[in-house]
Structure formats: C-alpha cells, structure tokens
Amino acid sequence: MGETGEKGFRRVGGRLCLDFVNTVGEWASRPHRSRGRDWRDHPERERLTSYGALLEWAVFVGVLRHAEARRLHDAALERRPRASAVLARARRLRHATYRLLRASIEGWTPDSSDVALLDDEVRVARLHQRLGGELPLTLSWDDDPHALDRMLWPIALDAAALLSSTDLNRVGQCPGDRCGWMFLDESRGRRRKWCDMADCGNLAKVRRFRARAAAGS
C-alpha cells in the first residue's frame, strides 16, 4: 500500500522520479489525438498547482527538509517570476520523464527532445553537486539557500539513473481507470499490475464483481 500525504500526494512509485511523474491525477490520451502512437501524456487533475505545492511535495518525499522549504518559500515571495519559471521547468521535466518511461514500456524510440530536456536538467544538477572533504568521500548539494530549483536536482539525476539502468525493465504503468501512474515492479515474478492494490486494484475487483453479478441476474 502506498503512502499518502496531507495534500493528497502519494508514494507508490518505488523511485523518486516515479513518484514525481505521479503528481497528476491521471495521464490521459490527448483529445482528438491523431492516428499513431498514443503517448497518453496529457496530465489531468494537476497536483503541482503552484510553487508552494511543489515545495510541499518535495518535503513529503524527503527531498527538502521543512526548514529548507520555508526558506525557499520566503525567497519565492521575493522572486515570483523565478518561482513560476521553476514550476514550469518542473512540469516539463515531469512530462519528458514520463514520455521516456512510456517509450521504454511500449518499445518505442524515445523523442530526442525529451532526451535533450532531461540531459539539460542533469547538467544543471551536476553543477550543484559537491564532494565532501573527508574519506570516504560523499556527494552533497551546494548550500545556496535561494536556489529555487534545488528540488529538481535529485529528481533529474534519479530519472537519468533509472532510464540508464536495468531497472528500467521493471517499470510498469497502472491500467486503472483514470490513472496511468508509473511504478517499479519489485514483486517476485514481476506480477505487479496496479499502482496500488488498495486503490486501482480494488476498484477493478469491484467492477468485475458487479459485472459478474449483472451477468448472473
């Protein structure tokens, strides 16, 4: 069963970047889609509705501490255009990551623009990584308290790590009605089907039961 935060955010993906992809209510097919690949990349019921919501999600998943989020919130109030730009970047990063994962699931050639966008975000993130001065060496982030995009750095690196690893073959997409969330299938035999058995899985069981009851009557 996944973890749910106060604002309705969920942790069912099994990876940071997958939980980030799942910050929409549903990944849906675009209205009036032309023939061809169905990317199902239209976000419905947006959860990242503001820069503040992005901060709340980052605290929920452990990317930011509460004190860091408060500092960034105060900095964002003084730099509203910058905060809005970071929110737009976050949504673009989410979209590109989702499309790359869906391409992997479907066996499609990834769109070069999605690869380029993730590559740009990875380059930004690595500019902010620092090695500690004692052995064993550890990687950490620079301590700029006004870097409004700092929550994007670990997301981009995690997405790149997943998309370049053998774990990519374990990524699944929930077939639930009005869902489409991504998850890492770590079950024995790779038998996981739903984002959360207590949510989409249970709804599917109820629908099957009602269908059988209706057919029996």
Per-residue pLDDT for the chain (217 aa), expressed as one digit of tens each? 467 766 779 999 999 999 999 999 999 998 776 678 999 999 999 999 999 999 999 999 999 999 999 999 999 999 999 999 999 999 999 999 999 999 999 999 999 999 999 999 999 999 999 998 889 989 999 988 889 999 999 999 999 999 999 999 999 999 998 999 999 999 988 889 999 988 795 655 555 544 455 566 5
pLDDT at 31: 78
Instruction: Give the distance, in angstroms, between the CA of residue 10 and the centroid of all CA atoms in the same chain.
Output: 10
Report the greatest alpha carbon distance in the chain.
73
DSSP letter for each residue of 63-97 = SS-HHHHHHHHHHHHH-HHHHHHHHHHHHHHHHHH
Give the domain ranges of the chain.
Answer: 3-216
- Whole-model pTM? 0.90
Q: How many CA atoms does the CB half-sphere of 120 hold within 13 Å?
A: 11
Instruction: Give the distance, in angstroms, between the CA of residue 48 and the centroid of all CA atoms in the same chain.
Output: 11
> What CATH fold (topology level) applies to the domain 3-216?
Jann2411-like fold (1.10.3300)
